[in-house]
């Protein structure tokens, strides 16, 4: 299984295009005519929307064309993604996809409305956002091993919250249960905000959340963070150990943002866009802003994005099946 970590990300730029030097790509004439609409398949104001607007603004400056962000929310991201899967491959419309649109949702659907691989042209992985395990100040656990011991002492008695059924934090919780050999009941919320409110209030003892959403509460000591879910620590919280460091060596989950185009886009156009998105993500100010959101800037080749989607599908398929989230 192929995963892109922070260490791997450092090497992405050196192998940016197969058989084509980065300088040649950067010098390539813009093959896109007219404005670009970057579809965000979620409501405005969320992490994906914020990342998209940051990158779109810089991309517009680089290519000298308008890049308009349009929110097309619905069905957990499926509505917006389906629009791109059926769009024209002329560069006029792109998608800011996520692990939900390109792994979790297709795996959960009885009849997926699109194939995450064949119905899109991969462009670039933009950023990776870790998840985090946090507990209320009333919960006795101080670290991951303490949490596991507490849960094993009272199996099935305790609950954990997430931003909803089938979301990356929910599946992160189920993967944790499986790998740690513990039992706890999932409490789905309509978003990370309501779940965090109940965690702070002590209504639930444990929450699996996206780091960008939990960061402020962690810094204010409103909740206690036990572990980052990526393989290496987050620059936003360098003193917070990973779950893997604390005994679950192969535990790794995160969310990500990646750009996809409609199927059939000419290779010259997809590689031009990939180069431009990487250049945008490499911008010092964009990197600073993304890291303030606890997002790790990446920038990748189309091939690396394809492998990312494949690896996510391979990882989450057995989890979804074991939890019974596959729709009939």
| Residue pLDDT, tens place only, 131-164 | 999 999 999 999 999 999 999 999 999 999 998 8
Residue 188 CB burial class (10 angstroms; 0-12, 13-18, ≥19): middle
Q: pLDDT-based confidence at 15, cuts 50/70/90? A: very low
Query: Which distant-in-sequence residues (6+ apart) come within 8 Å of 70 by Cβ?
Result: 37, 38, 39, 40
- State the average pLDDT over residues 247-254: 94
Which of 232, 236, 229, 225 lies closest to 287, judged by CA?
Answer: 236
Q: Distance between CA atoms of 200 and 92, rounded to whole angstroms?
A: 44
d(CA 257, CA 97): 6
Those residues with Cβ within 8 angstroms of residue 59's Cβ, 6 or more apart along the chain or in another chain: 36, 67, 276, 277, 280
Does one domain contain both 139 and 120? no
CA nearest to 72, candidates 93, 36, 51, 41: 41
Q: Over 90: is that where the pLDDT of 69 sits?
A: yes
Q: Indicate the length of the chain as a whole number.
A: 328
134 shares a domain with 102 = no
Q: Which of 33-47, 122-136, 222-236 has the lowest mean pLDDT?
A: 33-47
Which pLDDT score, from 0 to 100, does residue 46 have?
80
Number of domains making up the chain: 2
Buried-exposed string 17-32: b where 16+ CB fall within 10 A, e elsewhere: beeeeeeebeeeeeee
**What phi and psi, each to the nearest 5 degrees, are found at residue 301?**
-80, 165
pLDDT in tens, 225-244: 999 999 999 989 999 999 99
Q: What pLDDT sits at residue 28?
A: 63
**Which CATH number does the domain housing residue 158 bear?**
3.40.190.10
Structure tokens at 102: 């390109």
Place of tokens 């949490």: 147
In the predicted structure, residue 3 carries a pLDDT above the cut 80: no
pLDDT (average), residues 116-142: 97
Average confidence (pLDDT) over 76-81:
92
Assess whether 281 and 199 both reside in one domain.
no
Average pLDDT, the chain: 90
**pLDDT confidence tier of residue 253, bands split at 50, 70 and 90:** very high
Q: What is the pLDDT of residue 323?
A: 85
Q: How far is CA 271 from the centre of its chain?
A: 22
Asked whether residue 181 is assigned to any structural domain, the reply reads: yes
Q: Is residue 328 part of a domain?
A: no
How is residue 281 written in tokens?
Answer: 């993500």
Identify the pLDDT of residue 7: 41
Q: Which domain holds residue 173?
A: 130-246
High-pLDDT (> 90) share of the chain, %: 78
The answer to whether residues 112 and 152 belong to one domain is no
Stretch 250-272: mean pLDDT, rounded? 96
Q: Reply yes or no on whether the pLDDT at 73 is more than 80.
A: yes
Phi-psi region of 34 (alpha: psi -120 to 50; beta: other; left: phi over 0): left
Q: Is residue 260 part of a domain?
A: yes
- Cα–Cα–Cα angle for 144, 149, 152, rounded to 5 degrees: 125
Residue 191 has a pLDDT of: 84
What is d(CA 106, CA 108) in angstroms, rounded to the nearest whole number?
6
Q: Is residue 1 part of a domain?
A: no
CA 310 centroid distance within chain: 14
The mean pLDDT value for 153-182 works out to 94
What radius of gyration, in Å, describes the C-alpha atoms of the chain? 20
What CA–CA distances, in Å, run from 158 to 79, 184, 222, 228, 323? 35, 5, 20, 21, 18
| Statement: residue 9 has pLDDT above 90 | no
pLDDT reported for residue 11: 44
Task: Tell me: do 75 and 164 sit in the same domain.
Answer: no
pLDDT of amino acid 328: 67
In this predicted structure, what is the pLDDT of residue 76? 84
- Residue 6's pLDDT is what? 44
For residue 211, being part of any structural domain is answered with yes
Q: Does residue 51 surpass a pLDDT of 90?
A: yes
Same domain, 149 and 241: yes
**Domain stop point among 188, 212, 246:** 246
Which one, of 168, 164, 88, 95, lies nearest residue 125 by Cα? 95
Residue after which a domain boundary falls, among 246, 278, 308: 246
Task: State how far the Cα of 310 lies from the Cα of 174, in Å rounded to an integer.
Answer: 20
| CA–CA dist 273, 277 (Å, integer) | 6
Phi-psi label, residue 191: left if phi above 0, alpha if psi -120 to 50, beta otherwise: left
> Which of the listed residues 187, 211, 246 is the one where a domain comes to its end?
246
């Amino acid at each position: 299984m192929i995963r892109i970590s922070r260490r791997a990300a450092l090497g992405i730029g050196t192998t940016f295009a197969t058989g084509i030097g980065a300088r040649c790509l950067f010098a390539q004439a813009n093959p896109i005519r007219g404005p670009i609409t970057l579809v965000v398949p979620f409501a405005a104001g969320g992490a994906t929307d914020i990342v998209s607007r940051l990158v779109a603004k810089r991309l517009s400056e680089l290519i000298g064309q308008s890049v308009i962000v349009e929110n097309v929310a619905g069905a957990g991201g499926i509505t917006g993604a389906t629009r791109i899967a059926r769009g024209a491959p002329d560069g006029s419309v792109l998608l800011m996809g996520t692990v939900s649109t390109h792994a979790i949702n297709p795996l959960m659907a009885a009849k997926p409305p699109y194939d995450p691989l064949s119905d899109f042209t991969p462009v670039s992985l933009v950023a990776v956002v870790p998840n985090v395990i946090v507990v209320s100040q009333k919960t006795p656990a101080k670290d991951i091993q303490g949490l596991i011991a507490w849960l094993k002492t009272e199996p099935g008695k305790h609950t954990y919250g997430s931003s909803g059924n089938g979301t990356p934090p929910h599946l992160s919780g189920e993967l944790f249960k499986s790998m740690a050999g513990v039992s706890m009941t999932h409490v789905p919320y309509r978003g990370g905000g309501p779940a965090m409110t109940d965690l702070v209030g002590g209504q639930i003892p444990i929450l699996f959340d996206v780091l960008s959403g939990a960061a402020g509460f962690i810094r204010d000591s409103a909740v206690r963070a036990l572990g980052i879910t990526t393989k290496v620590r987050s620059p936003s919280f360098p003193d917070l150990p990973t779950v893997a460091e604390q005994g679950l060596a192969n535990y790794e989950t995160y969310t990500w943002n990646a750009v996809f185009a409609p199927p059939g886009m000419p290779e010259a156009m997809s590689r031009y866009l990939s180069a431009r998105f990487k250049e945008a993500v490499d911008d010092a100010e964009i990197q600073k802003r993304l890291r303030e959101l606890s997002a790790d800037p990446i920038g990748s080749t189309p091939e690396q994005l394809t492998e990312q989607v494949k690896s996510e599908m391979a990882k989450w398929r057995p989890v979804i099946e074991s939890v019974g989230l596959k729709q009939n």
